[in-house]
Each structure stands twice: as C-alpha cells, then as structure tokens.
Amino acid sequence: MKTSLRDTSYQAYRNDVLPSIGEHQQKVLEIIRQEDYLSDKEIAQRLGWTINSVTGRRNELEQKGLIFDAGTKQDERTGRRVHIWTAVKKQQILFF
C-alpha cells in the first residue's frame, strides 16, 4: 500500500538525503528543478559542460530517485527523439 510522505519525513529527506549528493550532482539537479523537462544535451549546454560530464551525474541522480525520465521530445537541431528529465516533487515521493 502506498502512503503519502509526511512533512516530517520530507524534512528528514531534505536534511539527510540531499546533502549526501556531490557538488556536480547538485548542479545537475538544480538545473533540472529550475527548468524541468530537459535533455542531457540541454543540461550540458546550460552548465557549460560536456555531455559525458552530465550523463554520469544524471544517472546517479536517477538511481537515487531524485529525478526520473519524463518521456521524450524531438531535438530541435538533430530532429532525433531524446529523453527528458524532471525532478521528483514532494508529492511524488511515496513509501511502499
């Protein structure tokens, strides 16, 4: 059974989980939270990083459950479908 996360649990999450991520992970997470639904390429452009610097940090954030794949969109330059990422919102954090 799924139950919503209580405010006290969210507070513990903010204090205990988020500080445990690295500086580069935090930068990637901040960009995704600010703009939402970004591809790896767009994240790299906004941070001024290479794509290889972004994908590793993004994978780590996904594994920690802080972001998730929100689907795909067409890359304006290449016309190819690319995955887009969004941050987990407070109301989306659930316990099982």
C-alpha distances in Å from residue 3, one per residue of 6, 79, 93: 9, 41, 9
- Segments forming the whole domain that contains residue 36: 3-95
User: How do residues 30-47 score in pLDDT, each as one tens digit?
Assistant: 999 999 899 999 999 999
C-alpha distances in Å from residue 70, one per residue of 4, 28, 38, 61: 21, 16, 9, 14
- Return d(Cα 36, Cα 31) in angstroms, integer: 8
**Residue 32 confidence (pLDDT):** 97
pLDDT-based confidence at 12, cuts 50/70/90? low
User: How do residues 45-93 score in pLDDT, each as one tens digit?
Assistant: 999 999 999 999 999 999 999 999 999 999 999 999 999 999 998 654 4
**Residue 89 confidence (pLDDT):** 81
**Residue 10 confidence (pLDDT):** 56
At 55, which CATH number?
1.10.10.10
Question: Do the beta carbons of residue 63 and residue 88 sit within 8 Å?
Answer: no
